[in-house]
DNA sequence: CCAAGTCTTTGACGTAAGTCAAATGCTGAC
DNA sequence: GTCAGCATTTGACTTACGTCAAAGACTTGG
């Protein structure tokens, strides 16, 4: 597919006139990363940001002893690595491709120039960053004020939502990953899933989960019940 | 002082030509809040954002059983409550004035109009949001991957930095507040301070703290040592 | 289709940090 | 100054969750 076509489908660039899309295509570069490849590392200096066109990328922090906390998982259409663009400091976290992926790369200075001439691009970017701040707000709230079962329940409900509110949902990643996303470790996640299953809140079959007691999960997520 | 003068001193509006500052003054409103007053609450719909001109404001989340996690503390010159402006959803957290304060309020729609005509205002705002995202990144890392002594050590070093790298620092808030900022409770904070004191890392005198072993604190903050 | 990895689960155990309760210390109003 | 009302500290106790270790269960690629 043409680069310009790909660009025109990205939500961040929604509503831009054709000539501006052209300008964007003029500065953009396509890059491929195999599954498992490091896209950038915390502390590295940044010369631009990325948008996923295919595949999946994980943004995460890691502690000296190897525990990891996932900050974001991004798929097609989503930008990442923008913070340094507007702030001029190194990347604040690590990024790894979780699948063979293609990204469009926008060099920092050229992109900033484009924004200067394009208020609606600026507003779109402000909206992206705002949404991300809101998400972090939720993440901090979860990590600091909820326990793991509550976070897991919230996540299951979120997945159900994403997947047309069915009661049958699929965890879209290995359970070890999910643990990192929820701020815990695989063993703990495993135990809690087992407990939820024992209490008939859910039924587990590999990475497929059936929600048997939605209200029970809601209560857990809100912190009004405990497991 | 004239409103326009106050506005011209705000970092967010740095580098704006006088006529734009004038436009800003045209839409701005001054508001006063007594210490302890709620500025806005989570879930409330937002019609604009604020900039502190004097006093102090606390942005926080709170759990059903009353534990609170402070997200930000903002003082003069700093904007807050901007997320809903660019995203059009309710406030994601609570805000309370910690001292008698004055804020400048900018209504949402008028401000967005200004941004459309003013690329450098947009870039300044993008920089503000980016800095905030970076801070959250650190907060998540701390909450998820460090324990309380590490967070406290990091905070003490941060304060020392703020206060000209002196070894004598002042906690700028009651210890209960500090606990909320570090994602813990007053009892735990108290115990850890006592422990640090016993191990000659610091000396405590009320809300004044003397750093006796800076390297020891650094090791704690990095997680290479434990208390 | 088998073997070598990786994931995942389970158990026994340790520990950081929260809860509850009581004592002590401070502060500001009158 | 004194007293009421907080903030802070300390102790005894509980608990959620991480660590370590080992056994099963899936995937992959040859």
Mean pLDDT of A116-131: 93
pLDDT digits (tens, 9 = 90+) for B118-146: 888 999 999 999 999 999 999 999 999 99
Interatomic CA distance for residues A55 and A102, integer angstroms: 6
- Distance in angstroms (rounded) separating the CA atoms of residues A155 and B34: 39
Nearest CA-CA partner of A21 in A3, A47, A42, A35: A3
The packing angle between helices A148-162 and A119-145, to 10°, is 140
Q: Do B119 and A120 touch (CB under 8 A)?
A: no
What are the angstrom distances between the C-alpha of B147 and each of A50, B129, B225?
33, 27, 11
- Spatial distance from the CA of A97 to the C1' of D20 (Å): 31
Considering only the beta carbons, identify the residue of A117, A129, A141 that sits closest to B133: A129
For B86, the 3-state DSSP assignment is helix
Residues of chain A with pLDDT > 70: what percent?
A: 100
Q: How far is the CA of A140 from the C1' of D26 (A)?
A: 34
Q: Do B83 and A144 touch (CB under 8 A)?
A: no
Q: Quick check: A52 and A74 in contact, CB under 8 A?
A: yes
Q: Do residues B136 and A140 lie in contact, with contact meaning Cβ atoms separated by under 8 Å?
A: yes
Alpha-carbon span A189 to A195, nearest angstrom: 10
CA distances from B127 to A116, A130, B121 (A): 14, 12, 10
Q: Check whether A165 has a pLDDT greater than 80.
A: no
* Rounded CA–C1' distance between B152 and D6, in angstroms: 24
Question: For the residues B155-171, what does the mean pLDDT come to?
Answer: 90
Rounded distance between C-alpha atoms, residue B203 and residue B217, angstroms = 13
Cβ neighbours of residue B144 under 8 Å, at least 6 residues apart? A61, A67, A69, A143, A183
- B101 pairs with which residues across the strands? B33
Query: Rounded to a whole number, what is the distance in Å from the CA of A1 to chain B's nearest CA?
Result: 31
CA distances from B62 to A133, B43, B68 (A): 17, 13, 4
Task: Tell me the range of A161-165, B34-38, B200-204 where mean pLDDT is highest.
Answer: B200-204
Q: A-B interface: how many C-beta pairs under 8 angstroms? A: 146
pLDDT given at position B227: 84
The full DSSP string for A20-81 is HHHHHHHH-EEEEE-TT-EEE-TT---SEEEEEEES-EEEEEE-TTS-EEEEEEE-TT-EES
pLDDT at res. A1:
67
The protein residues having a beta carbon less than 7 Å from any atom of strand D are: A 65, 67, 147-149, 183-185, 187-188, 192, 206, 226; B 174-176, 186-187, 189-191, 193-194, 204, 207
Work out the pLDDT band at A2, boundaries 50, 70, 90. Answer: confident
Q: B206 and B173 in contact (C-beta within 8 Å)? A: no
- In Å, how far is A7's CA from the nearest CA of chain B? 21
Give the CA A132 to C1' D16 distance in Å.
Answer: 29
What contacts A68, CB < 8 A, 6 or more positions away? Answer: A60, A61, A62, A180
Q: What positions of strand D are covered by protein, i.e. any atom < 7 Å from a CB?
A: 7-12, 16-21, 26-27
Within B64-147, residue ranges assigned H as helices are 83-87, 108-116, 119-145
Q: By C-alpha distance, which of A22, A111, A52, A19 is closest to B122?
A: A111
Give A17-66 pLDDT, tens digit per residue: 898 899 999 999 999 998 888 999 999 999 999 999 999 999 999 988 88
Select the residue of A63, A122, A137 nearest B92 (Cβ to Cβ): A137
Over pLDDT 90: what percentage of chain B?
80
Q: Closest to A223 (Cβ–Cβ): which among B63, B145, B223?
A: B63
Distance in angstroms, CA of B202 to C1' of C16? Answer: 21
Scanning the structure block, which residue is given the tokens 């740095």? B14
Determine the nucleotide nearest to B63 by Cα–C1' distance.
C18
Bases of strand C lying below 7 A from some protein CB: 7-12, 16-21, 27
Picking from A89, A116, A123, the nearest residue to B86 by CB comes out as: A123
CB within 8 Å: B136 and A131 = no
Numbers of helices and strands, H then E, in chain B:
9, 11
Whether the CB-CB separation of A165 and A197 falls below 8 Å is answered with no
Work out the pLDDT band at A3, boundaries 50, 70, 90: confident
- Are A180 and A59 a contacting pair, CB within 8 Å? no
In this model, does residue B181 exceed pLDDT 70? Answer: yes
Segment B145-165 mean pLDDT: 92
Q: How far apart are CA B86 and CA A57, in angstroms?
A: 25
Sign of the Cα torsion B121, B123, B129, B131 reads negative
**Confidence check: pLDDT of B1 > 70:** no
Lowest mean pLDDT among B33-37, B39-43, B73-77, B187-191: B33-37
Query: Residue A125: its chain B contacts at CB < 8 A?
Result: 126
At B16 the three-state DSSP class reads: coil
Token look-up 């004035």 returns: B97
Cα angle A101, A106, A108 (rounded to 5 degrees) comes to 135
pLDDT in tens, A62-113: 988 888 899 999 999 999 999 999 999 999 999 999 888 999 999 999 999 9
Q: Which helix (H) or strand (E) holds A107?
A: strand A101-107
Instruction: Give the 3-state secondary structure of B22-41.
Output: HHHHHHCEEEEECCCCEEEC
pLDDT of B140: 95
Asked if strand C contacts B154 at the CB level, meaning under 7 A, the answer is: no
Q: Where are the beta strands (DSSP E) in chain B?
A: 29-33, 38-40, 48-54, 57-62, 68-74, 79-80, 94-97, 101-107, 168-170, 202-205, 208-211
Chain B nearest-CA residue for A118: B119
Name chain B contacts of A119, Cβ cutoff 8 Å. Answer: 115-117, 119, 122
């Amino acid at each position: 597919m043409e680069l310009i076509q790909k660009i025109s489908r990205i939500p961040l660039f929604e509503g831009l006139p054709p000539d501006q899309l052209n300008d964007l295509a003029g500065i953009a570069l396509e890059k491929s990363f195999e599954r498992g490849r490091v896209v950038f590392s915390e502390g590295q200096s940044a010369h631009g940001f990325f948008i996923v066109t295919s595949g999946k990328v994980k943004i995460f922090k890691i502690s000296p002893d190897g525990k990891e906390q996932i900050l974001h998982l991004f798929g097609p259409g989503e930008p990442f690595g923008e913070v340094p663009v507007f702030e001029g400091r190194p990347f604040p976290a690590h990024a790894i491709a979780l699948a063979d992926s293609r990204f469009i790369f926008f060099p920092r200075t050229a992109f900033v120039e484009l924004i200067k001439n394009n208020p609606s691009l600026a507003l779109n970017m402000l909206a992206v960053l705002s949404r991300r701040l809101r998400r972090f707000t939720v993440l901090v709230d979860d990590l600091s004020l909820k326990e793991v079962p509550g976070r897991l329940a919230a996540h299951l409900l979120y997945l159900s939502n994403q997947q047309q509110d069915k009661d049958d949902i699929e965890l879209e990643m290995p359970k070890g990953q999910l643990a990192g996303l929820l701020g815990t470790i695989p063993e703990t996640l495993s135990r809690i899933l087992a407990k939820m299953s024992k209490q008939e809140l859910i039924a587990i079959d590999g990475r497929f989960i059936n929600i048997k007691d939605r209200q029970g999960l809601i209560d857990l997520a809100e912190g009004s019940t405990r497991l």
